[in-house]
Structure 1
Amino acid sequence: MLEVVQPGLQTTVQDEGRPGYYSLGFPQGGSMDQESARLANALVGNESSAAVLECTYIGPVLRAAVSMTVAVAGAPVDVLVNGEPREEWTRIDLEAGDTLSFGMIQGGTKYWIAVRGGIDVPEALGSRSTYVIGAIGGVGGRAVAAGDELPVGTSALPLPAADALDARHRPSFPRSQELRIVRGLYDHLLTDEGIRRLVEEEWTLTPTADRMGLRYDGPGVEWREREQPFGAGQDPSNIVDAGYAVGSIQIPGGTQPIVLHRDAVSGGGYAMVATVISADMDLLARAAPGTVTRFVPVSMDQALEARRQRTARIDAAVASLG
């Protein structure tokens, strides 16, 4: 087991998520940056579905009850074993009693700890991912707490030949981003000037960002004047309730776009003017407050090709480990 000495700011158990329950109000969930989580698992010889620990800003202090193998991937952060520096993106062997801790994060907001065998908490609706709002998954449906003992499973896969991921395969954490979007379903409610501002102006990520969504500040948009339908609110962006796709962009009040992420609610009464493509959701998860962002429209065919390229890129990174 791994003993939680200090929990960090917000450390949760996550995996690839629980698709298939959105219609019941349970979001997909899972690690916000699936690429970083998968690469961490690959370094320790886990299946991609193995549960990891997702750490936000301030990481936990963990003590190994027995010898085990771990890896840390994601946002750049100082990794310490018994107070001594170790490398991120590298396989690390811990002996019984060793303490794993972290220094200051140097970019992005989150990083992932993979343990060989995975964090072996019970599944809830087919996933070990923590959904705090719904109080399911992980450790009792909550973030880890001091004194928790996290069970570790076993892996039937061999350890990869390489003990570190080459730098060319590691994700970057830039201070500016281009996020590709597909316009719709309600972009027709924006004026031409509103659409121009959305896709041509710059937007800056605010500190209001979590697993549910990320709020941006910028020039705002313009909505077409219309008579609100029965059941909609008075905000110009209000609609009669509809389902939300993961990655949907809403602009309540027409000023601050919100991009919905993995733990977002499944529906509501705000118009979705565009959706961040699936291939860029990991990039979105790497943004820190202050990140300057442009929303770049692409076609559905381009979005599907980007998804294929993302899969090929991650597969190549995993294969590089041997």
Structure 2
Amino acid sequence: MAFEIREPGLSTTVQDQGRIGYYRYGIPQGGAMDQYSASLGNRLVGNTPAEAVLECTYIGPRVVTTTDAIVAVTGAPVDVFINGMPAPQYARLALAAGDELRFGVIQGGTKYFIAVHGGIDVPSVLGSRSTYPIGAIGGFEGRALAANDVLPVGAPIDNGLPVLATIAEEDRPVFSRDVSVRVMLGLYDHHLSQEGIDNLLNAEWTLTPVADRMGLRYSGPGVQWREREQPFGAGQDPSNIVDAGYAVGSIQIPGGTQPIILHRDAVSGGGYAMVATVISTDMDLVARCAPGTKTRFVAVTMDQALEARHEHAAQVAKIWS
């Protein structure tokens, strides 16, 4: 069984839960930008959460299946068509051999996902099938899909769960143009002035079009840094530090003007101060934001972050039961 790619879309890649355990070597965790949306697709088609899906960015592919297949489309709202006829998102869809799956105009967000029963069966590299294009590893030949690629689909899977025909509205992700993103301050927030902290946490920031799998850049009022003598080995930018490791979700503000949230494919270290870090639960929320989204950063404690993670885990467990 296979997917024949007639048109690749803007940037369609194979992704799964990510490549965990290699960040210390400079290889990012990667994986689906919106992990929750991707997992909903796998649940609908009868996979486990670990199977690889296709991540589509703005413009989706045109795909023909070589055999009968069960698929689902989740994530950002988009028109779905099977042989030219409209089909629903967040639903279990049956394709016959030769059927064509294509997409219309995205109506919010940036990423949506195509899951197929059996998963996209590309080789696992360092424990993951996720594509890391900059490193040219994983996925299909380490790159985004191209016309005439043929993607193998895995063998049938029994996940031991009852068949799920659709995802209830209350369990679907929301794609808003106005969001609050929870962050924990640090490690270098002490380099910001009080006015800088106030701007970061109380001002409104707007996601710019400069946003990809590595990071998302925001425009806004900027922040102010405390006067200090730069240590040996740091640059002259007020946000420069001597190199340090970056947590996934770190927020940097080069020059004090435009915050950048480091996302799934971000580098693991460098010379910019991390003034805050997006909590893990809200990384999917950040991934759902389209350029122009109004964003406020809300400081939370470690206990609040852990409680948010617990609540999210309970929501995921509800779907996978």
Range into which the TM-score falls when normalised by the shorter chain: over 0.9
**Residues 230-287 of structure 1: CA distance to partner in whole angstroms, max 9, x if unpaired?**
1100100000110000000000000100000000001000000000000100001000
Code of the residue aligned with 1:114 in structure 2: it is: A
**CA-CA distance at 1:314 after TM superposition:** 1.6
| Structural mapping, 1:148-297, within 5 Å | 148-154=149-155, 155-157=157-159, 160-297=162-299
Rounded to whole Å, the distance in 2 between the matches of 1:152 and 1:259 is: 34
Counterpart Cα distance in 1 of 2:163 and 2:57? 30
**Which amino acid in the other structure matches residue 260 of structure 2?**
I
* 1:307 partner SS: helix
Preserved CA contact (<8 Å) 1:43 1:160: no
Which SS does the other structure have where 1:253 is aligned?
A: helix
Over residues 45-79 of structure 1, what are the superposed CA-to-partner deviations in whole Å (9 max), with x where a residue is unaligned?
A: 10100000000000000000000100000000000
Does 1:70 pair with 2:58? no
Kept after mapping to 1: 8 A contact 2:208/2:292:
yes
Name segments (4+ residues, structure 1) moved above 2 Å.
Answer: 156-162
Amino acid at match of 2:279: I
The answer as to whether partners of 2:44 and 2:163 remain within 8 angstroms in 1 is: no
CA separation in 2, counterparts of 1:288 and 1:261?
14
Aligned positions of 1:56-205 closer than 5 A = 56-154=57-155, 155-157=157-159, 160-205=162-207
Kindly indicate whether the alpha-carbon contact (under 8 Å) linking 2:43 and 2:319 is maintained by their aligned counterparts in 1.
Answer: no
Deviation at 1:165, TM superposition (A): 0.8
Structure 1: gaps (5+ residues): none
Identity of aligned residues (%): 67
Alignment match, 1:38? 39
- One-letter code of the match for 1:225? E
Give the Cα separation in 2 of the matches to 1:32 and 1:311: 17
Distance 2:115 2:21 in 1: 25
Q: Return the letter of the residue paired with 1:297.
A: A
Q: Which residue of 1 aligns with 2:15?
A: 14
Aligned length: 319
Mapped partners of 1:162, 1:133: distance in 2 = 36
Structure 1 CA distance for aligned equivalents of residues 12 and 161 of structure 2: 26
Code of the residue aligned with 1:183 in structure 2: it is: L
Deviation at 1:156, TM superposition (A): 2.4
Residues in 2 aligned to 1:205 and 1:248: alpha-carbon distance in whole angstroms: 16
RMSD: 0.8
TM-score (norm 2): 0.98
| Deviation by residue 1:25-45 (Cα, 9 ceiling, x = unmatched) | 100000000000001000001
Query: For residue 310 of structure 1, what is the aligned residue in structure 2?
Result: 312
Q: Deviations over 1:171-229 (max 9, x none)?
A: 00000000000000000000000000000110000000000000000000000011101
CA contact (8 A) 2:12 2:61 kept: yes
Note if contact 1:64-1:97 (Cα within 8 Å) is conserved in structure 2: yes
Whether the aligned pair in 2 keeps the contact of 1:43 and 1:159 (CA below 8 Å) is no
Structure 1 residues 247 and 68: CA distance shift in structure 2, 3 A: same
Cα distance between partner residues in 1 of 2:216 and 2:269: 16
In 2, are the aligned partners of 1:2 and 1:65 still within 8 Å (CA)?
Answer: yes
Which residue identity is paired with 2:59? I
For the 8 Å contact 1:44–1:159, the answer to whether it is kept is no
Superposition deviation, residue 161 in structure 1:
3.0
Q: Which amino acid aligns with 2:15?
A: Q
Cα distance in 1 for partners of 2:209, 2:226 equals 29
Amino acid at match of 1:304: L
Which runs of 5 or more structure 2 residues have no equivalent in the other structure? none
Q: Distance in 2 between matches of 1:141 and 1:227?
A: 43
- Classify the secondary structure of the residue corresponding to 2:306: helix
The 8 Å contact of residues 26 and 268 in structure 2, kept in 1 or not, is answered as yes
